[in-house]
């Protein structure tokens, strides 16, 4: 892409994804014998598609833990767990997210390492713009991705969050770039794609599980597709 100087990414469910093997094991132990990572991922992506605008952090979600548990119970129900087991699935998932030093979004997305390294080899500057709770940098470091990144913006540290254009402009300003010199990649239509476009960046919707088959926005199913598109 002519004139491209930087690529910005979303954090959760884009560069870092849920530990689907861990969640699959938990679901199976609670009775969903045929639970599979892809089904959990698709259920989660569809849920987020419906609800993402409700998950803002500024002002803070009144009861973030309740929202977490409600969401994970809905995912569990979607993959076939009965109500009591779904609640238990949500409780244990939340506990793991709180107690594990990397949280539950601890796995680099497929191809993340290689894609970031290849983009950097093209002299592109790379950054993350995350609606997060102050731990985005630490989680990216623990997952081994921070080494490829020039910038991590965490909404809770800058006081503004996606989809507000100010957080995208802040990222551009850090690199001294115009919006036409960068693209943005994220998994949510409203927060990521429409937010980035509102700030003048060309967006790519990262639709790992195929929750947005009807959407006409530029859409990728794997991060490595960027290497051909950019
Ligand atoms: Mg995300």
Backbone angles phi, psi at 151, to 5 degrees: -160, 135
**CA dihedral angle for residue 138, residue 144, residue 149, residue 155, rounded to 10 degrees:** -30
Gap from CA of 37 to ligand 1 centroid (Å) = 18
pLDDT at 94: 97
Is the pLDDT at 58 greater than 60? The verdict is no
- Over residues 20-35, the pLDDT tens digits come to 999 999 999 999 999 9
d(CA 149, CA 94): 28
pLDDT at 54 over 70: no
Q: Give per-residue pLDDT as tens, 171-223.
A: 999 999 999 999 999 999 999 999 999 999 999 999 999 999 999 999 999 99
Question: Pick from 206, 208, 188, 207: which is nearest to 37 by CA?
Answer: 208
Q: What is the DSSP string of 136-167?
A: HHHHHHHTT-GGG-SEEEEHHHHT--TTSHHH
- d(CA 176, CA 189) in angstroms, rounded, equals 26
| C-alpha span between 205 and 123 (Å, rounded) | 23
| Residue 186 Cα to ligand 1 middle (Å) | 6
Task: For residue 188, report the distance from its CA to the centre of ligand 1, in Å.
Answer: 6
Residues 130-175: tens digit of each pLDDT? 999 899 999 999 999 999 999 999 999 999 999 999 999 999 999 9
Beta strands in the chain (DSSP E): 6-9, 16-17, 107-108, 125-130, 151-154, 182-186, 202-206, 219-220
Is it the case that residue 57 has pLDDT exceeding 90?
Answer: no
CA of 13 to the centre of ligand 1 (A): 4
Calpha distance 142→46 (Å, rounded): 28
Whether 139 contacts 105, CB under 8 Å:
yes
Please check whether residue 41 is in contact with residue 22, taking contact to mean a CB–CB distance below 8 angstroms. Answer: no
Mean pLDDT, residues 82-86 taken together: 97
Task: For residue 38, report the distance from its CA to the centre of ligand 1, in Å.
Answer: 17
pTM, to two decimals: 0.94
DSSP state of 12: B
């Amino acid at each position: 892409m002519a004139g491209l100087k930087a690529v910005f990414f979303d954090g959760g469910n884009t560069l870092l994804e849920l530990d689907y093997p861990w969640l699959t094991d938990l679901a199976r132990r609670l009775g969903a014998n045929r639970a599979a990572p892809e089904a959990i991922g698709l259920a989660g992506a569809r849920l987020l598609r419906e609800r993402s605008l409700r998950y803002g952090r500024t002002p803070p979600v009144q009861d973030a833990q309740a929202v977490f548990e409600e969401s994970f119970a809905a995912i569990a129900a979607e993959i076939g767990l009965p109500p009591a087991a779904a609640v238990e699935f949500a409780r244990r998932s939340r506990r793991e997210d709180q107690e594990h030093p990397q949280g539950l979004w601890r796995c680099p997305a497929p191809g993340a390492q290689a894609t970031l390294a290849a983009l950097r080899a093209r002299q592109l500057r790379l950054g993350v713009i995350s609606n997060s709770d102050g731990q985005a940098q630490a989680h990216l470091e623990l997952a081994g991705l921070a080494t490829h990144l020039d910038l991590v913006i965490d909404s809770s540290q800058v006081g503004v969050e996606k989809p507000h254009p100010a957080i995208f402009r802040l990222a551009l300003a850090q690199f001294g770039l115009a919006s036409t010199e960068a693209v943005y990649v994220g998994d949510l239509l409203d927060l990521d794609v429409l937010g980035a476009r509102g700030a003048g960046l060309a967006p790519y919707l990262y639709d790992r599980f195929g929750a947005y088959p009807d959407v006409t926005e530029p859409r990728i199913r794997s991060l490595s597709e960027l290497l051909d598109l950019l």
